[in-house]
Structure 1
Amino acid sequence: MTSLWLARPTRIEADDPAAAPRVFDEIVVGAGLTGLVTAVLLARAGRRVGVLEARGVGAAATGNTTAKLSVLQGAHLQRVRRRTSARVLQAYVDANLAGQAWLLDYLGDRGVPVQRLDAVSFAATPAGREIVEREAETAREAGLHVMTDVADDVPFEVHASARLAGQAQFDPMDVLEALAAELRGLGGVICEGVRMTGASVGRPVRVRTTAGAFSCERLVLATGTPILDRGLSFAKLRANRSYAAAYRTDAALPQAMYLSVDEPTRSIRTAPDPDLASGAADLLLVGGYGHGVGRHPSPRSRVDALDEWTRSTWPDAALTHRWSAQDYETPHGVPFVGWMPRGRGRVFIATGYDKWGMTNAVQCGLTLAADLLGELPDWARTLRHRFTTPVALGAGIGINAAVAKHYAVGWGRALVTRLPEAPPPEGAGSVGRVGRAPVPTAASTVDGVTCRVSGICPHLGAVLAWNDAERTWDCPAHASRFTADGVRLEGPAKRDLRR
């Protein structure tokens, strides 16, 4: 599956790791929106900045987002309010407004195409009406001018809706291309295909990678979930996988960005059609239908459900692209950003955007740059010193209880399952024991090739689960993901699976 944004050739230039400098003031790990915003702000201040990316620029969350730059975020604001306080909610909204304003100014200055549209949170069922009304009330409490109206430009029933004018959407790779060009113009370095494998947090910080060692004064981890375990961030996050698809249709398209507040989540927007010969001005993008990483028996069924709903709503819809993304949720509903515990003030992180990475990535980049260069904004200081409410504590306990359950279920099933000698059918994967081996084996067949790898996640030893939509091995504990032949894709794991 390839996203609409990553399907076209990139115009991003990277540096040769073998010829790149080995010493920097700051090293940023992860070349998504958070990493590149942070790196650009540091480079503007005259810092020597290196960005290390395990795959390619935008290969993970940013290149697979639906790219809505909105402060109205489904039903998220009421979740923040319920788990924190009115003061923290206001700081969260102020942070998102700051991130939104910074990015819009940046894109406007560089002529990057942006579509300014309203954002609409809607109820697809009668039960969702109360959620919409509560979200509108919460948004107004934080100073947002939200209207409740009837959505009349979509071909499905809407039971209630809340609308915030003046939001935006764009191609996220256009954003990364502009940021990467500015960074390299300021003397910054971007190395693709370089995976960080560890770090020694001394003076200087020594960063171990697949391309050798680098050193820096301070290290920024902008990798979705931090790939160092020092702060135990992996134990404070819930990972979710969601799906998206682009369609060409002759039907009338929505004139706003829509997101349902009830299940299954449905996210709807448009995007300029890259195929000018098609005659269509815009494509229809539909996303949602998410689930916990490694915790659904058939992710393919979620992809199929999204497609079936789209075709039942727009009968002539023709699929052009399909993709997925991974997001992390914190117990508070507010990102973790700033110095990493046990990082001696030299390691910084940003994670936990809960599907709202466009505004939150930028506000976290602003926060990280302020951490490293100067005074924090008031909203960043408030978010950093939030207290843990009983509701947030309960959410955190729930996150770890679910992890414990999947450790027990995964190992219990793997130890009593014998892996057949015959290869799995095409597109299938299974985990079980081979002979008397104490460690489960994961076997899969993809494109006619059968691979057998360790069925245990190298991070903390959970039994992996097969993702039949993406043909990957996914960890149900802390959401590391691997290709069918064991190559690490994302998550806190730092090694590939053993063949």
Structure 2
Amino acid sequence: MTNKNYGEGKLPEFPESFWTDSTELPNFPRLDQDIHVDAVIVGGGITGITSAYLLANKGLKVAILEADKLLNGTTGHTTAKITAQHDLIYDELITSMGSSKARLYYEANIEALEFIKKTIERDHIDCDFSTQDAYMYAATEEYAQKIEKEAKAYEKLHIDGKLVDAIPLNITVRNALIMRDQAQFHPLKYLQRLVQNITEKGGLIFENTVAVNVETGKQPTVLTRDGGRVTANHVLACSHFPFYEGLGLYSARMYAERSYVLAAKPKSKFPGGIYINAGKPTRSLRSVTVNGEEMILIVGENHKTGQGIDTMKHYEALEVFGQEIFGLETIPYRWSAQDLTTLDKVPYIGAITSDQPNILIATGYRKWGMSNGTAAALLLCDTVLGEKSKFQKLYTPSRFYANPSLKSFFVENANVVSHLIKGKLEITNLNPNMLPNDEGAVISINGERKGAYRDTEGKLHIVDTTCTHIGCEVEWNSGDRSWDCPCHGSRFSYTGDVIEGPAEKPLQKYDYKMIDNLLSEDSGY
């Protein structure tokens, strides 16, 4: 574990996910040859792995291409609730899509929960799975009224729920809505077994293999950054943000949000259940077993990627909340996560465009990836096998509902334009030589905007701050030591390497000699 020195009132120095730290996954090679399979799956998270598991068990030859390491992305940084209670969603879906589709959304996520539960039981997977009631609570009168409307939506859709006026936590609430028999688990221990099954069935897995494009046709071919080619009957883009957009314009139809997680040992006992508030700032809670001890995950502080306050303050706000409710003895882990939201808040799952039916995508889970991601895999599998699904029209990526999609489209793209302009006009006179160790900032060299980070050993890393996606200017994320784009959520390490798309190319880097020359040429230093 990286975070050795932690104690009461102290956040870990470095971000690290408990899920990834507590699971040993096998290593897989980089793709170094051209191959042909029945289905190529891009992305090694819950959707990609579950899809490969389903298809391999149907006798198909599958290959997974993962740009980094399996389960090191959004799935490895989840809260790992498995639930169909996705904030205030059902009343909104009834208004925008109608009762039938709202009910289908619920059914898809409940079926995903049941699939996970049955898979765990059948394969005897030890992954800390437990059934929990889900609570959504309101602390203000405004949101109490919204929860009452949501409760009426539950009743209309025949969802097993109940409106109550208290919850078993030391939190004063106006009311709360319970959804019975939801669940939680250790996602990587669960998916680790699915990975084992995939390889036993002859499935191929490649890590550090970046997919960059698709040659379309009856048998499309995925092209990798290193020149590899994977030809298949179907391409499944399960890579968080679709690595290939076709004509879907997904960059303009989704936005990225970050949230933050603390794993903490409470002084008071956690009563069970999984919780989330209605309103802002988001507060989400569940229990977790860490080294044999019961701890809690404290989650929230959502904001658009690359926008907002110093990111460490989000972790600090969660710590304050945890201290007030439970009292915290230790905080062994902190990490952050990122996910995408579509125009109408329902994921895009299915054919990328109507004229490319064998190129499928799954994206836009709105931070509910354990259920939505599994539902996506089930639907993708049906599509590949030519089987009909009652969920196909609900999730089709080509759908468009004027309300709320039209308004969301203009709002989000106006936000992109404003940040594109703002970043280009931003002026800074910060001298990189004055940066302390382990701090980063936007600097100016010869009048040009650059990004600088001085690591813990004093080495200076300078990158160009222009995102390689559409040219927005990235901002420094101090909590995770990364450069984040406020336009479409691309993220880069302090050395400029891509952490999350849609960007595919790294930021331009400057070596020591280039840095010295730039600094010596800048008359301001």
TM-score (norm 2): 0.89
Q: C-alpha separation between the residues in 2 aligned to 1:371 and 1:56?
A: 27
Quote the offset at 1:212 in angstroms: 3.5
Distance 1:342 1:404, change over 3 A: farther
Would you say 1:442 and 2:454 are equivalent positions? no
Map 1:132-281 → 2, pairs under 5 A: 132-217=147-232, 218-230=234-246, 231-273=248-290, 275-276=291-292, 280=293
Deviation at 1:378, TM superposition (A): 1.2
Structure-1 residue corresponding to 2:484: 474
Asked whether the 8 Å contact 1:254–1:269 carries over to 2, the reply is no
What's the CA shift for 1:393?
1.3
Q: Is the 8 A contact 2:481 2:493 kept in 1?
A: yes
Question: Are 1:380 and 2:392 counterparts?
Answer: yes
- AA at the equivalent of 1:4: F
Match of 2:366 among 336, 354, 369: 354
Partner of 1:52: 65
- The alignment covers a number of residue pairs equal to 489
What TM-score, normalized to structure 1?
Answer: 0.93
Structure 1, unaligned stretches of length 5 or more?
none
Q: Structure 1 residues 55-64 or 418-427, which shifts more?
A: 418-427
**Aligned-pair CA distance for 1:432:** 4.4
1:465 match: 475
Distance in structure 2 (CA, Å) of the matches to 1:139 and 1:224: 30
Q: Aligned pair in 2 of structure 1 residues 432, 309: CA closer, same or farther (>3 Å)? A: same
Q: Of the candidates 344, 349, 352, which is equivalent to residue 356 of structure 2?
A: 344
Q: Which moved more, 1:336-345 or 1:51-60?
A: 336-345
How far residue 157 of structure 1 moved from its aligned partner, in angstroms, is 1.1
SS in 2 for 1:338: strand
SS of 1:253 mapped into structure 2: coil
Q: Is the 8 A contact 1:52 1:192 kept in 2?
A: yes
CA distance in 1, matches of 2:221, 2:23: 34
Q: Tell whether the 8 Å contact from 1:121 to 1:258 is kept in structure 2 after alignment.
A: yes
Find the aligned partners of 1:346 and 1:433 in 2 and give their Cα distance: 47
Q: Is the 8 A contact 1:204 1:215 kept in 2?
A: no
C-alpha contact 1:53 1:195 (8 A) present in aligned 2: yes
Listed one character per residue, the Cα deviations across residues 66-103 of structure 1 (whole Å, up to 9, x for unaligned) are: 11111122213233334332222112112112211111
Task: Go from structure 1 to structure 2 and tell me whether the alpha carbon gap of 1:348 and 1:18 turns closer, same or farther (over 3 Å shift).
Answer: closer
- Cα shift at 1:387: 4.4
Deviation of residue 194 (structure 1)? Answer: 1.5
Are the structure 2 counterparts of residues 342 and 430 from structure 1 closer, same or farther at C-alpha, using a change threshold of 3 Å? farther
Q: CA deviation at 1:490?
A: 0.7
Partner of residue 417, structure 1: 428
Q: 1:68 to 1:421 in 2, by over 3 A?
A: closer
Once the two structures are superposed, what CA deviation does each residue of 1:86-139 show, in whole Å capped at 9, x if it has no partner? 222112112112211111111111223311110000112333211221222222
- Would the aligned equivalents of 1:88 and 1:382 in 2 still touch at CA under 8 Å? yes
Amino acid at match of 2:148: E
Q: CA deviation at 1:211?
A: 4.5
Name the stretch that deviates more: 48-57 or 71-80: 71-80
Contact 2:451-2:463 at 8 Å conserved across structures: yes
Distance 1:298 1:105, change over 3 A: same
- Distance in 2 separating the partners of 1:80 and 1:391: 10
The SS at the match of 2:132 is strand
Percent identity, aligned pairs only, is 27
Aligned to 2:9: none
- Report the alpha carbon displacement of residue 142 of structure 1 after superposing the two structures with TM: 1.7
1:496: which partner in 2? 506
Deviation of the 1:317 alpha carbon: 3.5
Q: Contact between 1:31 and 1:52, CA under 8 Å: does it hold in 2?
A: yes
Q: Which moved more, 1:317-326 or 1:444-453?
A: 444-453
Q: CA deviation at 1:201?
A: 2.0
Alpha-carbon shift at residue 342 of structure 1 (Å) = 7.7
Q: 1:48 to 1:88 in 2, by over 3 A?
A: same
The 1:342/1:389 distance shift into structure 2, 3 A limit, reads closer
Aligned to 2:437: 426
The Cα of 1:210 is off from its aligned counterpart by: 4.0
Distance 2:301 2:506 in 1: 28
Residues 82 and 391, structure 1, Cα contact 8 Å, conserved in 2: no
Unaligned runs of 5+ in 2: 1-14, 510-525
- Alignment-derived partner of residue 304 in structure 1: 316
Alignment deviations for residues 250-299 of structure 1 (CA, whole Å, 9 cap, x no partner): 312031100001111110000123x23xxx3x111110111000011312
Which of 39, 42, 46 in structure 1 is aligned with 2:52?
39
Tell me, in whole angstroms, the C-alpha distance in 2 between the residues paired with 1:321 and 1:130.
36
- Confirm or deny that 1:4 pairs with 2:13: no
Aligned to 1:378, what secondary structure does the other structure show?
coil
- Cα distance change of structure 1 residues 204 and 419 upon mapping to structure 2, 3 Å threshold: farther
Cα distance in 1, alignment partners of residues 334 and 443 from structure 2: 31
The correspondence for 1:68, drawn from 59, 78, 81, is 81
CA distance in 2, matches of 1:63, 1:151: 33
User: Over the residues paired in the alignment, what is the CA RMSD in angstroms?
Assistant: 1.9
Deviation at 1:19, TM superposition (A): 6.9
Instruction: Find the aligned partners of 1:297 and 1:250 in 2 and give their Cα distance.
Output: 30
Question: Which residue number in structure 2 is paired with residue 15 of structure 1?
Answer: 28
Superimposed CA distance per residue, residues 379-399 of structure 1 (whole angstroms, 9 cap, x where no aligned partner):
323443754133221112111
- For residue 18 of structure 2, what is the amino acid of its counterpart? L
After superposition, where does 1:123-134 map in structure 2 within 5 Å? 123-134=138-149
Distance in structure 2 (CA, Å) of the matches to 1:446 and 1:116 = 43
Residue in structure 2 matched with residue 118 of structure 1 by the alignment: 133
Contact 1:73 1:121 (8 Å CA) reproduced:
no
C-alpha distance in structure 2 between counterparts of 1:18 and 1:226, whole Å: 20
* Offset, 1:247: 0.8
Rounded Cα–Cα distance in structure 2 between residues aligned with 1:378 and 1:257: 29
Give the one of 459, 462, 466 matched to 1:452: 462
Q: Corresponding residue for 1:289?
A: 301
Contact between 2:32 and 2:228, CA under 8 Å: does it hold in 1?
Answer: no
What displacement does 1:170 show? 0.2
